[in-house]
Amino acid sequence: MGPIGVFDSGLGGLTVLRALLRRLPAEDFVYFGDTARVPYGTKGARTVREFARQDAAFLQGLGVKMIVVACNTAAAFALETLQAQFPLPVLGVIEPGVSAALARTRGGRIGVIGTSGTIRSGRYQEALAAAVGAPRVVARECPLLVPLAEEGLTNHPLTEMAIAHYLLPLRQAGVDTLILGCTHYPLLKPAISRFMEPETVLVDSAEELAESAARRLGELGLQRPASAAAAPASRLEFWLSDVPWQFAEIGARFLGRPIEAARQVNLDEVEQAGRLVRHGRERA
């Protein structure tokens, strides 16, 4: 009955934690943000896979009962590897986002936006194309949107310009459903909504993931018991591999509430946790 472990390349995954807290208020959570090595979205598959393994191993060492990969890029490159390597349920954001988009599309085209890594991995496109056919899927990498969201420029002309630049081809292609395939994009939802046609449905993968985490906990009988749920506050713990300058401000914006305290862990500890998992598997 440990906490649920949630990790991301940095602070963006706090939007996923926010959705998880809303959906599972009685659960305990431990969040790890790899702020020393963010961004993952510009890095190659091997690097991201290795970082993700270390992040998950660090959380496993803290005694979590489930691991949520709250980073689209890490989920795109590493989800299956993590599921094979860890003896815990490991959930990612891609599959829930794809299912929600397929359930909501009205037969038009489906768009997906994300980091360069997420889009170049082709994971969203493959899953969507298998259901609706490749010509009905339009994908676009939007690298500038992550820093704009972090800077808090959610309703700024710079962001409006970047959104227009990236999303025009999707609007022109007539997408009726758009997957926000990056942890930072929920903050840009109003600006994205204003740019797209009014009837375009935006799929927030954070909310969809929270739904599937709740389902999975139920199926596995891993929910925190009702007596524990009646206890005053669930435990919320934050670990970071670096504390960025604007941590408190950005963190609160992403999580939707202030973060009381965050602990810092040295990268060599995170790397060491990853090595232990690898060696453990080699011995097994």
118 binds ligand DGL (CB under 6 A): yes
Residue 182 known to be catalytic? yes
Catalytic residue among 182, 192, 240, 255: 182
Within residues 55-84, the interface with ligand DGL by CB under 6 A covers 71-73
Distance between the two ends of the chain, CA-based, in angstroms? Answer: 26
Judged by CB under 6 A, which of 5, 12, 186, 274 binds ligand DGL? 12
Query: Minimum distance from CB of 197 to ligand DGL (Å)?
Result: 25
Site string (120-149) toward ligand DGL, x via CB under 6 A: --------------------------x---
The piece of 8-16, 94-102, 134-142, 171-179 that touches ligand DGL (CB under 6 A) is: 8-16
39 binds ligand DGL (CB under 6 A): yes
CB contact set of 64 (below 8 Å; sequence gap of 6+): 2, 3, 4, 5, 30, 88
Site string (234-263) toward ligand DGL, x via CB under 6 A: ------------------------------
DSSP H stretches of helix in the chain: 14-23, 45-61, 72-85, 94-104, 116-121, 123-132, 145-150, 157-172, 189-195, 205-220, 226-229, 247-255, 267-283
Helix (H) or strand (E) run with residue 236 in it: strand 236-240
Q: Known catalytic residues?
A: 71, 182
